[in-house]
Amino acid sequence: MSSSSLIPTTEPRFRVPDARGRFGQFGGMYVPETLMTPLLDLTKAYDEARRDPAFQQAFADMLRDYAGRPTGLTFAESLTKHAGGARIYLKREDMLHTGAHKINNVIGQALLAIRMGKKRIIAETGAGQHGTATAAVCARFGLKCVIYMGAVDMERQALNVYRMRLMGAEVRGVEAGQRTLKEAVNEAMRDWVTNVRETHYILGTAYGSHPYPMMVRDFHRIISIESKQQILRAEGRLPDAIVACVGGGSNAIGAFFEFLDEPSVRLIGVEAGGRSISKGEHAARFAGGRLGVLQGCMTNILMDGEGQIEGTHSVSAGLDYAAVGPEHSYYREKGRVDYAHATDSECLEAFQLLSRTEGIIPALETSHAVAHGVKLAASLPKEQVIIINLSGRGDKDVWSAARAMGTEIKL
């Protein structure tokens, strides 16, 4: 694969974002004045880098030699038989170094930080996969690394906390608010404001102020570049649907991007339905949210009529977030991408199902996509084909999943 294909210099027919970082009415730059200059500098630096063949080649080399791309597209024969309908393929982002799609974006942003002369990296993390990827890449490049993580998430993702520290990162627990991902983002942004001259903030999802949603999407576009080529080789045609879980939305936007101009391909994002779609019991922004501004952009947010952010819940730390990436809000408004949700119980069932049928333990985030994907496959004719983006592996989740299912693992 040529390196020039990895980062898009043109957009699909929707042509977003615009010069102001807007996806229609969504997106933008809603940040303190102290962050406007670094964000404009970052926008300029990325615009130059994405058109620089040397930068693209370095990105392509790292994806291949360090991250382990291309990832496979696996026909899930046993899972297909279980569903009894459409043929199911799994895009194997779980096979990447550090265990998830997150490393695609971290490599791209780390290379950009080095290009900009930044020697200190900060990041937020929920499930710990973005933090782990950031710690790994910072170790590889010799960059100082600080990771912010909610105290609740640190407890349920203790293995990833240890992995981050093992690779030299400083992990700072956040005790404010719900002590989950939203609060970790807040602390990372406070750090960036204070240390902006020497620090780059590697935001982990397709969210926040421009240029982050565009930049993160572009670094994850490789997922759909590969899967489009792979499904054409395997089936001789495009899939009928692609399913991916959606927290902030980075794995999903990467999996969807190359198919946006293919109207025959249904694109389905799956949010966290939690215990139920009632206040404080879920993280399904399209099922219970409204338009608002949070942490840098305008998008769909779980908040009340007075603009107060509502509590969220999900068995998966990576989907436990009150807002969704602005590009997802845009495609939903345009009718190009559909959004569903899976409950905690459906997620845990899918977590076990994929493990038992294919010998692949999915992340709890990914299990939401598996749950909906299997349901969708069962409703479709056997000649149809769907791809489920397997965004991450579930090693990190075994303890918390077992506990959620009533079992304590004792070593």
Write out the catalytic residue numbers.
102, 124, 391
Helices (H), 33-128: 33-49, 53-62, 77-83, 102-115
Helix axes 181-194, 33-49, angle to 10 degrees: 90
The three-state DSSP-derived secondary structure of 206-262 is CCCCCCHHHHHHHHHCHHHHHHHHHHHHHHCCCCCEEEEECCCCHHHHHHHHHHCCC
Neighbours of 161 (CB within 10 A): 22
How does strand 26-30 pair with strand 296-301? antiparallel
Determine the Cα angle at 207 with ends 394 and 152, to 5°.
Answer: 45
Q: Around 243, how many Cα atoms within 13 Å sit in the side-chain half-sphere?
A: 26
Q: Which long-range contacts (CB under 8 A, 24 or more apart) does 1-4 make?
A: 1/60, 1/70, 1/225, 1/226, 3/53, 3/56, 3/57, 3/59, 3/60, 3/61, 4/53, 4/56
For residue 4, give both structure tokens: 């020039």
How does strand 296-301 pair with strand 290-294? antiparallel
**What is d(CA 246, CA 250) in angstroms, rounded to the nearest whole number?**
8
Which of 257, 203, 222 is closest to 16 using CA atoms? 257
**What is d(CA 210, CA 21) in angstroms, rounded to the nearest whole number?**
5
**What is d(CA 356, CA 170) in angstroms, rounded to the nearest whole number?**
36
How does strand 290-294 pair with strand 199-201? unpaired
